Structure 1
Amino acid sequence: MEPTRRRVLGTLAAAATAGVAGCSSDSSPTANSADAGERATTERPADRPARDASETTVADADSVYTRVYRQTSDSVALIRTPRGSQGSGFLYDDRHFVTNYHVVGSADRVSVQFDDTLSRVGRVVGRDPRSDLAVIEVEVPDGVAPLELIDSEPSIGTRVAVVGSPYGLRGSLTSGIVSGVDRQVPSPVGDYLIPNAIQTDAPVNPGNSGGPLVNLSGKVLGVVNSGGGDNIAFAISASLVRRVVPALVADGEYDHPYLGAKTTTVTELVARANEFPTAEGVLVVDVPSGVPAKGQLRPCTRTRLVEGFRVPVGGDAILAVDGTQIQTDKDLHAHLALEASPGDTLSVRIRRDGEVRTAPVKVGERPALVA
């Protein structure tokens, strides 16, 4: 096999200025997709880097990001589809690249460009629109190593880098920090919120989608999913990647866990309306016919007027699932997405009729998307 050519990074720009699986709620951030479908035209000058407090000299700061770049850049490729859209991807194992679903779309084959002179045709072997992940199988050149996923949740303030191909400029690196965790971002198909997403202020532009967000050890924290400007971008967490991608490699698709109950966070107002002793957990507002939670969880039956607001009352309040405390809708969505699978039976602690009890609740599979 032909080895790749490593492009040495000269000067580095550190732009420090720069959930979902089963129950539904009505709050989510919005973000513009950072995928391409755009072609490179002119290269923009980088912003002047801001100094991290731990960096004592320019040489020290440059060496950190130069090392990250050298460690990861050969494992990150420019992805192009026959229709001209483009993004990034990174090597997950010895022959599979991970990227975004919204980068490859319905394409069966894509171009995987390893460096300025070497590109190969890859086959899309799996895709999951809801988690916005896809897997490409391709012959990998000698010397290209898979990137490792982190095995813990990142902390706010962790220094990170985004490696990819903004505007088709392959082999680009931007830097920043983890500026938020446990976010929910809309999926490309709209009926799902991607849980546990990572927020970063590292600059993300069209063409970065599908590339890795890495820490200073070169480990993947997440897959870049979207950038909305104003120094806000999001990445699909390594935790979700670790659940979805093996299924895409093996089966070409991923079965999402699903309860189907509509819930709302128990606020002080909701607790007062329902005469709960504390504001904790999530209230089951509705359980539509045909969903897995039907007959297992009790929905609200009426509303009560409290301080001028109509508040649903009479339903179960979910306090914990499998021993994990549930404080918000986001907690419930993330637990289902990251810990449960279709067919599992959950141990759910609920408040019903003034008493706290534990009930078994069986998880179903989220219905297939309608083409």
Structure 2
Amino acid sequence: MDHEQSRRAFLGSLAAAGGASAAGCQSPGSTGESTPAGTGDADDPASNDGDAADAAVDGEPYAAVYESVVGSVASVRTYDGGGNGAQGTAFVYDDRHLVTNQHVVSGASDVSVRFQDSGWRNAEVLATDVYSDLAVMEMTALPDGAEPLPLLKSDPAVGQRVVAIGNPFGYGGSVSEGIVSGRDRTLAAANGFSIPDAIQTDAAVNPGNSGGPLVTLDGDVAGVINAGGGDNIGFAISAALARRVIPELITEGEFGHSYVGVRLMNVSPPVARANDVPESRGVYIDEVIDDGPAEGVLQGSDGTRPVNGVSAPVGGDVIVRMADTEIRARQDLTSFLALETDPGESIDVDLYRDGQRRTVELTLGERPDPEG
């Protein structure tokens, strides 16, 4: 039996007895050097771990997940050469690469990582993607016990228990538990774009957890922790998006995101009535960006019309389907583009224009360079 099979068998036997979940998030900008009174060394993983092996007993699935996963999770510390530092978390993707958030390593000239049973080691930032907030680091050698963590093959169920292991406030090897509170959430990205298909959790996530894994009780990564603020809500980049982006970052050094070149909004009842659309669903095209892929194919607003005292835009297309995917709201459109399409691909778009349903063919472009 290989490592993955034995790990799943062990976790499965404990999860059956009853378990829970946790998640965390990290924000850059502090080095976490201070140590609160009476808490031990905030930067020493051993000071927080306890005897996980002894704790992983029947009926303690959190301890089992921790014991199985923690050896593959690393604290991250970065410096930009100007006296500024940041900290976060990463986890092992394969025998040479670690995954973290782009915002954890952004601007870093020097990156160090530390595993549970190792000292600080140098790591090289191989590639980053600001539009998914994912980054890949490379190491010449990983410590013993640092095994790759598998990415979940489908989105977790709402209500499913999850666990986050990371480095909140510099306390390495910390674990928290919660559930999946929602799926297909939208997070802000660079240049007014968004990160689709994010996982929402109620697990405690704090500065220092960003880039760490949000894992199921089977030890599979449901998402890469991205954000949280202590209000019983946190977010992670979905495993589905990570499964698309990370391999491309490793092999190509970049990931091309599909681009339409429009500004859009959800279809509210006033917008539907003003544009003679039979249902309040789909996305309304308010503006078509000049020289973008949608120019000459899709149509934006050309005026407004009052509906029940509300000024509603008119003249824009209302998209209700792309290829075989129903588009009910903005989240459907952004998730479809991110998870199911590639730049240069041509797709059929079903829409309402001037009250009539029609189909147009759209060739997708690639999102512009965020530095451009």
| Alignment CA distance shift 1:106-1:17 (3 Å) | closer
The answer (yes or no) to whether the contact 2:100–2:134 under 8 Å persists in 1 is: yes
Output the CA distance in 1 between the equivalents of 2:244 and 2:326. 22
The answer (yes or no) to whether the contact 1:72–1:147 under 8 Å persists in 2 is: yes
SS in 2 for 1:245: helix
What is the count of residue pairs matched by the alignment?
A: 331
Output the CA distance in 1 between the equivalents of 2:102 and 2:257. 16
| Alignment CA distance shift 1:43-1:246 (3 Å) | farther
Identity between Structure 1 and Structure 2 (%): 47
Q: How far has the Cα of 1:43 moved from its partner?
A: 7.4
Match of 1:170 in 2: 172
Are 2:242 and 1:241 equivalent residues in the alignment? Answer: yes
Q: Which runs of 5+ in 2 are unaligned?
A: 1-18, 40-55
| Alignment CA distance shift 1:73-1:172 (3 Å) | same
Output the CA distance in 2 between the equivalents of 1:191 and 1:249. 26
Q: Deviations over 1:105-150 (max 9, x none)?
A: 1224411111354231111000111211111001212332100000
Q: How far has the Cα of 1:173 moved from its partner?
A: 0.7
Amino acid at match of 1:80: R
The answer (yes or no) to whether the contact 1:38–1:206 under 8 Å persists in 2 is: no
Match of 2:31 in 1: 38
SS in 2 for 1:303: strand
Q: How far has the Cα of 1:15 moved from its partner?
A: 9.0
Runs of 4+ in 1 over 6 A off after TM superposition: 14-18
Q: Deviations over 1:267-293 (max 9, x none)?
A: 211111112222221121110211111
SS in 2 for 1:229: coil
Are 2:156 and 1:157 equivalent residues in the alignment? Answer: no
| Alignment CA distance shift 1:93-1:38 (3 Å) | same
Are 2:177 and 1:180 equivalent residues in the alignment? Answer: no
Match of 1:343 in 2: 344
Give TM-score, length-normalised by structure 1: 0.84
The answer (yes or no) to whether the contact 1:36–1:206 under 8 Å persists in 2 is: no
Q: Deviations over 1:128-182 (max 9, x none)?
A: 1121111100121233210000011111111110011111111111111111111
Output the CA distance in 2 between the equivalents of 1:353 and 1:190. 31
Are 2:154 and 1:147 equivalent residues in the alignment? Answer: no
Q: How far has the Cα of 1:36 moved from its partner?
A: 5.6
Q: Which moved more, 1:347-356 or 1:257-266?
A: 347-356
Match of 2:44 in 1: none
1:74 to 68, 71, 74: 71
| Alignment CA distance shift 1:126-1:308 (3 Å) | same
SS in 1 for 2:85: coil
The answer (yes or no) to whether the contact 1:212–1:224 under 8 Å persists in 2 is: yes
Q: Deviations over 1:313-367 (max 9, x none)?
A: 1221111011111011121111111111110111111122332222110100111
Q: Which runs of 5+ in 1 are unaligned?
A: 1-13, 19-31, 46-57
The answer (yes or no) to whether the contact 2:100–2:211 under 8 Å persists in 1 is: yes
The answer (yes or no) to whether the contact 2:22–2:175 under 8 Å persists in 1 is: no
Output the CA distance in 2 between the equivalents of 1:59 and 1:179. 27
| Alignment CA distance shift 1:17-1:369 (3 Å) | closer
Match of 1:216 in 2: 217
The answer (yes or no) to whether the contact 1:35–1:226 under 8 Å persists in 2 is: no
SS in 2 for 1:93: coil
Match of 2:366 in 1: 365
Q: How far has the Cα of 1:39 moved from its partner?
A: 0.6
Q: How far has the Cα of 1:190 moved from its partner?
A: 5.1
Q: Which moved more, 1:320-329 or 1:35-44?
A: 35-44
Alignment of 1:105-116 (within 5 A): 105-115=106-116
SS in 1 for 2:192: coil
Q: How far has the Cα of 1:185 moved from its partner?
A: 1.4
